[in-house]
Chains A and B, each alone.
Chain A
Amino acid sequence: MTGVVVMVADAPGPEKPAGVRRRARIRAITLESRAPGRAAAWYRQALGLRDADPLLTAGGVELRFTLGTSDAPNTLEPARIVLNFHVADIRTAEARLVALEAVWVRELERTRWGIIGTVLDLDGNYVQIVEPAPDSPPCLQRKEEQS
């Protein structure tokens, strides 16, 4: 997906009176990588996306990969920005990561927010899979999208 300029389009919003702004929406994340093609393939497998899926998206957010310019081979502070992928079946998500031989930072653990596990991506970023608890706050309840 490196270099692809297609972007996920927003649904048109309603007309707003002058001076009223709709809240900004996160529609893409750009990940710098030593090997963007390999990184994209890793995420595609980790998220269980089909090769036929034209864009690498997760819940309407596109993941983009660019060639890294940093001197450091791996992310220096992986706790700085962590991507939380919400899933309905954490065991299925775990199995995909095990099949990828992902490095686990934290194996699946039941917390007050739900069941959470953390792995490293190929560039050393933390990637979390989360099966939200039914009583976790609404802002943490986003789950899988229907495909």
Chain B
Amino acid sequence: MTKPALGSILLGTTNPHRLRDWYAAALAPDDSGEAFTEVTPTMFAGTFGDTSVLIDGRSDVADKNPDPGRVILNFHVDDARATADHLNTLGVTWLVDLEERAGGIFGTLVDPDGNYVQIIELKE
């Protein structure tokens, strides 16, 4: 028996190039421009773990997410503090600063469209 897999998450945006560049720089910093492939001129796909992020230019969303927090993407990283340092060099906006909790180190930031993105370094 097989189970469905979350193959991809589609992010609808009015500015797909900006969002692609942000996710590539923020979460795939060592991929030097290869983090995303162009599926169509307004759709880009990048794989983060086993799941792809599809950035889709579309006209049925506003420039900013009017209801952030409904869906939060949780990214695991090897070193949350190094990642946060890197993100700060990009000038990202933090919703919740990095903090140590029982399960690991967590922080929540806001992407250019206003979506919430959590980074997590799990404790060994």
Q: How many residues of A contact B (CB 8 A)?
A: 62
Docked pose: A84 CA to B50 CA in angstroms: 13
Whether A49 is near chain B, meaning CB under 8 Å from some CB there, is: yes
Given contacts A10-B122, A24-B76, A125-B71, A77 and B62 within 8 Å (CB-CB): yes
The reply to whether B12 and A25 form a contact with Cβ atoms under 8 Å apart is: no
Whether A115 is near chain B, meaning CB under 8 Å from some CB there, is: no
Interface string of B103-120 (1 = CB under 8 A from A): 100000000010100111
Nearest-neighbour CB distance to chain A for B47, whole angstroms, equals 5
Nearest-neighbour CB distance to chain A for B109, whole angstroms, equals 12
Interface string of B40-74 (1 = CB under 8 A from A): 00000111111111100010111001110111111
Nearest-neighbour CB distance to chain A for B86, whole angstroms, equals 7
Bin chain B's interface residue count: 35 or more
Nearest-neighbour CB distance to chain B for A145, whole angstroms, equals 5
When C-beta atoms are compared, the residue in chain B nearest to A32 turns out to be: B70
Nearest-neighbour CB distance to chain A for B2, whole angstroms, equals 4
Selected contact of A142 from candidates B52, B79, B82, CB within 8 Å: B52
Nearest-neighbour CB distance to chain B for A105, whole angstroms, equals 12
Docked pose: A123 CA to B79 CA in angstroms: 34
The reply to whether B5 and A30 form a contact with Cβ atoms under 8 Å apart is: no
The reply to whether A32 and B83 form a contact with Cβ atoms under 8 Å apart is: no
Nearest-neighbour CB distance to chain B for A136, whole angstroms, equals 9
Selected contact of B3 from candidates A26, A123, A145, CB within 8 Å: A145
The reply to whether A21 and B122 form a contact with Cβ atoms under 8 Å apart is: no
When C-beta atoms are compared, the residue in chain A nearest to B40 turns out to be: A112
Docked pose: A82 CA to B52 CA in angstroms: 12
Given contacts A59-B4, A77-B65, A137 and B37 within 8 Å (CB-CB): yes
The reply to whether B120 and A27 form a contact with Cβ atoms under 8 Å apart is: yes
B82 CB contacts on chain A under 8 angstroms: 21
Whether A60 is near chain B, meaning CB under 8 Å from some CB there, is: yes
User: Which residues of A are interface residues toward B (Cβ below 8 A)?
Assistant: 5, 7, 9-10, 13, 16, 20-32, 47-49, 58-61, 63-64, 68-70, 72, 75-77, 79-88, 93, 123, 125, 128-130, 132, 137, 139-147
Listed from nearest, the 5 A-B pairs whose CB atoms lie closest are A59-B5, A25-B49, A86-B7, A144-B2, A28-B74
